[in-house]
């Protein structure tokens, strides 16, 4: 078996090459009760930082999505403390100063771009901070659509911004106030309430089992 050496929380282990960081930790004997969720790159629970030998950069990624490399120094971050002020969405307006009023630390951004470099989803995180500053809520929502709230940007930010909570609020405001209403759904609900499908439904519920099976087999599959 092709083995490599990784250092987990400072201790060296021989693990098979090709494992993800998460699998390598479990192979080494760790039982992950926290810092581990969907194992599919969606939930954002397994934020991890690592360094590679001979490289000054501190890399950040999701443990379930990143293969181990020989000589890797790994530290798992099971949780990111981040402040989220209480708010009631219905009391807020989707306008310029809403984000800044609830998260005034946004104004401390010096555009260092460290957040962007830390993002495992490869989002333009700093651009989202800047869009927040100029009150572009739709821009924030679009920049951060694929955010998994792993907290890595938040952990790295010198301005101590709680990014993922800002993004969540921006997406909520965008969804509640800035996205066009689905008028056709309301129309269809009204049609159904007025009995548009009542005759067909009544017919179905009074069929015998054989009639139902025959109708099912004869159904139109594609228009």
Partner 1 sequence: MKTIAYFPGCAMKDQARPDEAGTLHALALLGYEVTEIPRWNCCGTVYSLAQDDLMRHVGPVRNLVRVQGMGEGRVLTLCAMCYGTLARSARFVAEPERLARINAFLDTEDDFRGGIEVVHLLTLLRDEVGYEKLAAQVKRTLDGLKVGTYYGCVLLRPRLFAVDDPDRPEVMERVVEALGGTPVAFPERTECCGAYLTVGRTDIVGDRVGRILRSARGGGAEVVVTTCPLCQFNLDERRPAGAPTLPVLYLGQLLAWAMGLDEPAVAALVSKEPATGRPVSTGV
Q: Residue numbers of the site for partner 1 (CB under 8 A)?
A: 96-97, 109-113, 116-117, 124, 126-127, 130, 133-136, 158
Cβ at position 109, least distance to partner 1 in Å: 7
- Number of other CB atoms surrounding residue 121 within 10 Å: 18
* Closer residue to partner 1 (CB): 23 or 138: 138
3 state SS of 190:
helix
Burial of 51 (0-12, 13-18, 19+ CB in 10 A): middle
* Closer residue to partner 1 (CB): 117 or 172: 117
Q: How far apart are CA 216 and CA 207, in angstroms?
A: 11
Phi, psi of 116 (to 5 degrees): -60, -40
* Closer residue to partner 1 (CB): 36 or 152: 152
Q: CB neighbours of 43 closer than 8 A, spacing ≥ 6?
A: 37, 148
Cβ at position 78, least distance to partner 1 in Å: 28
Cβ at position 97, least distance to partner 1 in Å: 8
* Closer residue to partner 1 (CB): 101 or 204: 101
Cβ at position 135, least distance to partner 1 in Å: 4
């Amino acid at each position: 078996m092709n083995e490599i050496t990784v250092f987990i929380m400072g201790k060296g282990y021989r693990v098979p090459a090709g494992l993800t960081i998460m699998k390598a930790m479990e192979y080494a004997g760790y039982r992950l009760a926290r810092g581990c969720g969907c194992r599919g790159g969606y939930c954002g629970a397994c934020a991890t930082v690592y360094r590679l030998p001979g490289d000054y950069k501190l890399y950040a990624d999701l443990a379930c999505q990143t293969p181990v490399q020989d000589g890797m120094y790994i530290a798992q971050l099971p949780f990111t403390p981040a402040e989220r002020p209480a708010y009631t969405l219905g009391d807020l307006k989707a306008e310029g100063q809403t984000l800044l009023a609830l998260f005034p630390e946004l104004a401390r951004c010096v555009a260092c771009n460290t957040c962007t470099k830390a993002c495992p989803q490869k989002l333009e995180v700093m651009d989202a901070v800047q869009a927040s500053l100029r009150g572009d809520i739709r821009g924030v929502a679009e920049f951060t659509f694929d955010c998994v709230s792993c907290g890595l940007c938040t952990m790295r930010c010198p301005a101590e911004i709680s990014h993922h909570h800002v993004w969540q609020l921006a997406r909520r405001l965008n969804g509640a106030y800035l996205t066009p209403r689905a008028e056709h759904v309301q129309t269809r609900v009204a049609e159904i309430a007025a009995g548009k499908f009542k005759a067909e439904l009544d017919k179905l519920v009074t069929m015998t089992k054989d009639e139902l099976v025959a109708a099912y087999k004869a159904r139109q599959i594609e228009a």
